[in-house]
Amino acid sequence: MAEDILAKNTTGVSVFSSMDGWKTAKFAGFIESIDRKLEPASVAISQTTAHELGDRIYSSVLFYDNKINPSMAGNRTDFALRDITGSVDSLLQANGFNM
């Protein structure tokens, strides 16, 4: 997987698959950040990471909408660590992988 920002002004994770030990790779699809879907387009969001933890895959974004000091996290109640395992599995199944 690779963190991605597309020309469409969206944020998410690009998923790739490989059948030869990553000598070559195939683009399986794009998982748009749920936070991008929930927030107005004017809210600046950047995909920061996507990692496997245990048997799950989590994605995290960073918001740039703190009006007082843009370099600080601000007062957030939701830090946007999202489980994207089901979405990744669906993309891989659609590309012929057995999950």
Predicted structure pTM score: 0.69
| Model confidence band, residue 76 (pLDDT cutoffs 50, 70, 90) | low
**With 0-12 CB in 10 A as exposed, 13-18 as middle and 19+ as buried, what is 53?**
exposed
Give the tens place of pLDDT for each residue, 43-69.
667 777 888 999 999 988 776 665 665
* Residue 72, CA distances (Å) to 3, 17, 63, 68 in order: 22, 36, 10, 9
Which percentage of the chain shows pLDDT scores above 90?
17
Across the chain, what does the average pLDDT equal?
76
